[in-house]
Structure 1
């Protein structure tokens, strides 16, 4: 009903029927010359529609019903697979945001708005084999499109279609610049699962990676300036770098004190490695010190010019000898979890039965592990390490009693 109302709005505002307006202003400018509203208008042969009765395909008498009036706004458009591919390419052209010449039909910013979730739906997790990690999908409805985030694909946009005699689905990945269209001539054919399976196969076989995020020039500049501040605090530089309300959250004097503590703890700090991006105005990087390192996160304001709105600094020190010995005992317990290993690993406050179950499960899923990297912690009481195994990666957060080296808490987390 809502689409029928929108179709009537188009007719009242434009003075054209919905079909005429769509054909003249959208389909033909996009080169979708074979798209039509009724079969007698088709420039190419149209597939006959069928339905399944007792396992036998029979002609669907309603397959070629005429598409007229307000109903045209929600269903009934005939098109070839090439036309549908042009439509997917039109949607994909909205990314990444850029200053190139706009397309003739709709601004790229409006296309991106169409493909954002505006109405949420309940989280969906598909059942899988017990030895597999279930993919999780969450999202909702945009403007005439379903939008979701999948653990294995990232952002996914698409929509299914179906009428007596036909079923279809179109789906694409904005971050990977690829899409799939499926057309079937059976009533309400399950084209959606077929298209999603094909899309996942395409991503896997072609090893399609998400489009890399490019940092804004302002973010690169902020990285250099914040790095200078952490090496030597300077009020004049800070005033140029941060947003007007930055020091309302944490006073200037407190930031200066924190920088002094970091310098005493780590010695001279210098930027190391590439800037890791969340988006063009948000990223993180590592500053290596003479002792340990700092992980630095910044978010810039969406203003002209952008300024630092959020700054977070995590001090990390490598494990001391006691912590290193505890990590080695943990690796041995992961490789062969027994109550004897647990007794040598855990402190008296730990539920040893629960810890044994935890390590047994990790052993079944991942097998023996090795330390890939230390990523957080003070190295004395707390350490977070990334663990590697042929079956996947884990993150281990370990808290110990620094006097005895016994584990006070342990959490193992699966990594993507």
Structure 2
């Protein structure tokens, strides 16, 4: 409490502080080229992500967290927060965590490798390996699911995440006894996505039977060791020491962190029994992502099989999800083989899988078009590190203005685009006959097409002289391209799509006129009549495509 006199004295001091000579009040003009309203501070991406992830442990969501930022060349940055165990040190890129269901992509690729070597028919029914398997859909008999269907969560079995944890240590014989009474299918196999750990487990055991050794040893010998993932193993094959293992924690009724004893799996190892590090998983993410990027090779497992691993095999129901910040996220995609695949309306294809065990939640997620990814390990089962890792990935993609995909046009596509551009500017019957496939004149006579183009030029023209290569607007595949021809009162938007056989010709040819009064952002980027009517508003990742 201050007295009245003290208050007056403080007020006098306050006034004196705000009084200054004219010289000190006069603002100097800013230096030439400096504008305060556009002042920005460039913050490195890794600093932004460190601050973003650091909040998680600071808020008490987990005792520890470590993340890795992955690029096309491997791990680019990693940082740990909190503590890995009761000794108090923060986890780092070499700290070993159980990765739970992230194991599934390793086992699924092991199945494809066995298939490629002629050891396994993944289209075979599971009863070829386990005749004890049987079940019904209600009162109806059901077909037996195949190995592929079980690996892609299309086996017809009901979701079982809440049920399986106590059975992680069951032996194969004990597990077979559990399934001997039969299954109640929730759906006919091959029709609906539904996540099943026990179905995936049985498929993994079948892989082991096909190759003549435990699936754990097959994956380790044929995939992990050749990749140099020397800190990755199945928990039932873990070395006795020589590494730093994270402890999983949960809060007790008094709000105190309590550690869980480490899990050791047996028959269910294929569904979630592996352990790894940020350093090693960055090798895995890079290896899988490289299958869709130029320059990758076919060593260890072919690029084709790695792409097959990341292709949707069982479509999930699309949904519109509310984000915590009030925005909406449209989710469409499904399950591949041991991986989830999502199609983002702006960023394109996202590949991911999480893992959860008592005391741990973990996730890996990457952008198929660029090879950029994020891996997050936490040692509690609170919070949502899965959403956190996806958010971090999208921040990284936005930071670098990463396109949804990169389309590499055929040389013939560029040549025929230039030829079609010249035709539009100056029609020539002989050139048209060389450029267009027979169906172009069959679908709409060339004379009609030429007249329609003349009308379009009248609407927005005359056309401006060509300067350099045509301006590309978009491309959906290597065989098609949409480009712009500028005119005095607007532009022509043109599109060609090539034939699949050689020599390539144009099988689809579209041209529209757009008046200059139409804002650039409102102009169509895809005018293919077979894909969509260009007069209808469409939201897709096609405009965010980089064409090379």
Kindly provide the CA deviation profile for residues 13-69 of structure 1, in whole angstroms up to 9, marking residues without a partner as x.
3222101110111111111111111266235222122223223221224x322x223
The alpha-carbon deviation at position 317 of structure 1 amounts to: 4.0
Does structure 1 retain, via aligned residues, the 8 Å contact 2:349–2:404?
no
- For residues 52-67 of structure 1, what are the structure 2 equivalents within 5 Å? 52-54=251-253, 55-61=255-261, 63-65=262-264, 67=265
Aligned to 1:31: 228
Counterpart-to-counterpart distance in 2, 1:162 and 1:102: 32
Q: Among 103, 109, 116, which residue is 2:298 paired with?
A: 103
Flag the 1:27–1:124 CA change in 2: closer, same or farther, 3 A.
farther
Q: Among 282, 285, 288, which residue is 2:480 paired with?
A: 282
SS in 2 for 1:158: strand
SS in 2 for 1:93: helix
Counterpart-to-counterpart distance in 2, 1:290 and 1:206: 35
Kindly provide the CA deviation profile for residues 244-288 of structure 1, in whole angstroms up to 9, marking residues without a partner as x.
433332233432332443455534565565223323222211123
Counterpart-to-counterpart distance in 1, 2:230 and 2:260: 26
Counterpart-to-counterpart distance in 1, 2:237 and 2:305: 34
Q: Among 205, 209, 213, which residue is 1:8 paired with?
A: 205
SS in 1 for 2:274: coil
Counterpart-to-counterpart distance in 2, 1:182 and 1:83: 13
Q: Please list every run of 5 or more consecutive structure 1 residues that lacks an aligned counterpart in the other structure.
A: 320-326, 328-370, 377-396, 398-410
Aligned to 1:91: 288
Aligned residues: 324
Taking structure 1 as the reference length, the TM-score comes to 0.68
Kindly provide the CA deviation profile for residues 168-207 of structure 1, in whole angstroms up to 9, marking residues without a partner as x.
1000112232111111222476320221232233334455
Flag the 1:165–1:205 CA change in 2: closer, same or farther, 3 A.
same
Aligned to 1:75: 272
Q: Among 482, 494, 509, which residue is 1:296 paired with?
A: 494
Aligned to 1:349: none
Which one scores higher on RCO, CA 8 angstroms, separation ≥ 6?
A: 2
Taking structure 2 as the reference length, the TM-score comes to 0.53
Kindly provide the CA deviation profile for residues 291-312 of structure 1, in whole angstroms up to 9, marking residues without a partner as x.
6431101222343343322211
Counterpart-to-counterpart distance in 2, 1:80 and 1:373: 44
Flag the 1:293–1:104 CA change in 2: closer, same or farther, 3 A.
same
The alpha-carbon deviation at position 243 of structure 1 amounts to: 3.2
Counterpart-to-counterpart distance in 2, 1:19 and 1:117: 25
Aligned to 2:433: 239
Flag the 1:373–1:235 CA change in 2: closer, same or farther, 3 A.
same
SS in 2 for 1:5: helix
SS in 2 for 1:160: strand
Aligned to 2:322: 126
Kindly provide the CA deviation profile for residues 77-102 of structure 1, in whole angstroms up to 9, marking residues without a partner as x.
01111111111111221233x4x462
Aligned to 1:257: 451
Q: Give yes or no for the alignment of 1:113 onto 2:308.
A: yes
Flag the 1:68–1:239 CA change in 2: closer, same or farther, 3 A.
farther
Q: Among 222, 230, 234, which residue is 2:424 paired with?
A: 230
Which one has the bigger strand percentage?
A: 1
Aligned alpha-carbon RMSD (Å)? 3.2
Kindly provide the CA deviation profile for residues 140-192 of structure 1, in whole angstroms up to 9, marking residues without a partner as x.
22222111123453321100011223221000112232111111222476320
Aligned to 1:192: 386
The alpha-carbon deviation at position 120 of structure 1 amounts to: 2.9
Does structure 2 retain, via aligned residues, the 8 Å contact 1:123–1:139?
no
The alpha-carbon deviation at position 111 of structure 1 amounts to: 2.3
Does structure 1 retain, via aligned residues, the 8 Å contact 2:250–2:381?
yes
Flag the 1:144–1:249 CA change in 2: closer, same or farther, 3 A.
farther
Flag the 1:93–1:252 CA change in 2: closer, same or farther, 3 A.
same
Does structure 2 retain, via aligned residues, the 8 Å contact 1:163–1:187?
yes
Q: Give yes or no for the alignment of 1:46 onto 2:266.
A: no
Counterpart-to-counterpart distance in 1, 2:411 and 2:387: 41
Counterpart-to-counterpart distance in 2, 1:93 and 1:218: 26
